[in-house]
Amino acid sequence: MTDEVHNAGEPSPGLASGLFRSITQFVASLVSLTQTRLELLTTELQEEVQRVASLAIYAFVALLAAMLGLFFLGLAIVIVFWDTHRVLAAWLVTGTFFALAVVAVIILIAKTRSQPPLLDATLSELKKDAAQLRERL
pLDDT tens per residue across span 85-112: 777 777 777 888 889 889 989 998 998 8
Return the ∠ at Cα 113 (arms to 112 and 114), rounded to 5°: 95
Number of C-beta neighbours around residue 137 at 10 A? 5
The least confident of 35-39, 72-76, 133-137 is 133-137
pLDDT tens per residue across span 22-41: 888 887 788 788 888 888 88
The fraction of the chain above a pLDDT of 90, given in percent, is 14
Name the residue among 21, 38, 24, 43 with its Cα closest to residue 129: 38
Enter the pTM of the model.
Answer: 0.48
Distance of CA 127 to CAs 34, 36, 46, 100, 124, Å? 13, 14, 22, 43, 5
Distance of CA 96 to CAs 27, 90, 108, Å? 63, 10, 18
* 2: confidence class by pLDDT, cuts 50, 70, 90: very low
Return the ∠ at Cα 12 (arms to 11 and 17), rounded to 5°: 100
DSSP symbols for 74-124: HHHHHHTTS-HHHHHHHHHHHHHHHHHHHHHHHHHHHHHHHSPPTTHHHHH
